[in-house]
Each structure stands twice: as C-alpha cells, then as structure tokens.
Structure 1
Amino acid sequence: MRFEVETGEGTSVTDITDEVSGAVPTGRNGTVSVFVPHTTAGVVVNEAEPRLEADIARFAGGMVPDAEWHHDEIDDNARAHLASMVLGRDVTLPVMDGALDIGRYQSVLLVDCDGPRVRNVDVV
C-alpha cells in the first residue's frame, strides 16, 4: 500500500504510525516494511513527542556541516541527501495478529530533510 504525506518547511518530522497501522493486513503475523522512495527523506522509529520531534528535526537538519558540496551547484540540497543516508529510507516492523507489535512509546516517523513536499510512503 502507498500513501502520501504533506511535509513542513525545511526539515520536519511527521508521525505516520496510524497510516502504517492501517496498511497492515487483518490477522497477519510476521513483518512489514515501511519504505520512503525519496533521496531526501527517511523513516525512523522513535517517540512521537512534540519536543522530541523538534529535536529530531533539528538534529537531522544540522548533522551535515556546511561545506561546498558539489551537488549544491544543481539544486542546493546536498545536505538533505546526505542526512537522509544516515537516517535510512526503510524500517522493518513486527506484526502480531494484524497489528504493529512495537513498544509503548515507539512510533513510525517520516523525517523530511527538504520540505515542504508531498512524500510517498510504501508499506509492504
């Protein structure tokens, strides 16, 4: 299943746990993969607490130092590409009886390093 997420300006974090949960087939046991088919966004599992989400956005937006990146000559977003490599574009989650089997404080978070954009998220 694929769904879309509208993201905020710059580097932003969006909780997509409900959408991912809704894509899990009824009664399924095993795993699901959540994949973001973009080169300037990533997906992580962490707590969906507003202050932590702001910290994640700040961390992701600042983890790549300012430099004269070659790709910036094209569209000035090399930092977003490099940050998304560290975040990763996919996570695999356990599923029990058709529900995500994640920890109490765990959520699935889309981290967009080059917003605002409309991002696709695949759940398979």
Structure 2
Amino acid sequence: MTGTFTTRTVDVTAGSAETMHDLTNTCSAFLREVAHGRDGLLNVFTPHATSGLAVIETGAGSDDDLLAALREVLPADGRRRDRHGRAGPGHDHMLPALVPPHATLPVVGGELQLGASQSVVLVTTGRDVPDRQVRLSFLG
C-alpha cells in the first residue's frame, strides 16, 4: 500500500493579544481537498516560539480557562531574563513546553476524528508577532 503525503502552510492573524484561534474548520477543509476519503494522520505544526497547538473544547469557557491558567503558570511579571540579564518575554517563549507546537490527529474516511466538543486551536501568548503560520500535513 502506498501512502501519500500532502502539506500546506496557512496564515493565521492572531492579533496583538494572547488568543486562541480555532483551526478546526481549516483542518477539515484541507482534508476535504487532499484526503479523498482515505484514512491517515493529520499533523498540525506551528513554527513560532510563542505559540502552541491544543485540542480543547472552545466556547464553553475552557478556552478562557486555559489562557488564565497559562497566565498563572507563566506570569509576565519580568522575572525571566534573557542571556544579557534584561527582562523580556521569557514567559511567552516557555509556552511550547506546556502547549506543544504540534498535534497529530487521526483521519478516518477523509474526516478528522475529534470528540463532539473538541477543537484544534492555535494558542498564542506572544504579542510581538500578530501573523502566524501553521503547517498542515496529511499522510494517508
């Protein structure tokens, strides 16, 4: 059986505030174009030091709760220093250790297999880069 690999980069405008951007519809549209009813895996990756990807319920408060929890765990209070001893956005650069920059998700019959309340979201705490990229890759 021969598999196919298809990849595409999509641009996301995250803005200048911490945010969660729902990518579920973007992922599903990509799979409709490339999966052609096949089973496989969708890998989602963001190449930014201050972003991560989560599979989480959105719209019921969990998204706000996640951002609040990240503010508690990674406070922007200036305690983190760069290699020159200056206060900086070190808290934002620690985000991918807690919310990884990748997710690999099952695809069955060409469709993303998420639970009823699950969404794929880009989590961004860095305020310095309003435009982000996300790479979608299907292997099936």
Aligned mate of 2:130, from 100, 117, 124: 117
| Identity level (%) | 28
| CA distance 1:62–1:10, shift in 2 (3 Å) | farther
Listed as ranges, the gaps of 5+ residues in structure 2 are: 1-7
C-alpha separation in 1, matches of 2:73 and 2:37 = 40
Listed as ranges, the gaps of 5+ residues in structure 1 are: none
Offset from partner CA, 1:45-73 (integer Å, 9 cap, x none): 01011522222222223312445322272
Q: Which residue of 1 aligns with 2:111?
A: 99
Q: Which residue of 1 aligns with 2:43?
A: 33
Deviates more, 1:38-47 or 1:59-68: 59-68
- Aligned residues of 2:45 and 2:136 also touching (Cα < 8 A): yes
Q: Which residue of 2 aligns with 1:14?
A: 21
How far off is 1:23 after superposition?
1.5
Q: Which residue of 2 aligns with 1:79?
A: 91
**Structure 1 length normalisation: TM-score?**
0.88
Offset from partner CA, 1:21-63 (integer Å, 9 cap, x none): 1122222211110001111000010101152222222222331
- Aligned residues of 1:84 and 1:113 also touching (Cα < 8 A): no
C-alpha separation in 2, matches of 1:8 and 1:51 = 20
Q: Which has the larger radius of gyration?
A: 2
- Aligned residues of 2:15 and 2:131 also touching (Cα < 8 A): no
| CA distance 1:64–1:12, shift in 2 (3 Å) | same
Aligned mate of 1:44, from 35, 39, 54: 54
Letter in 1 for 2:92: A
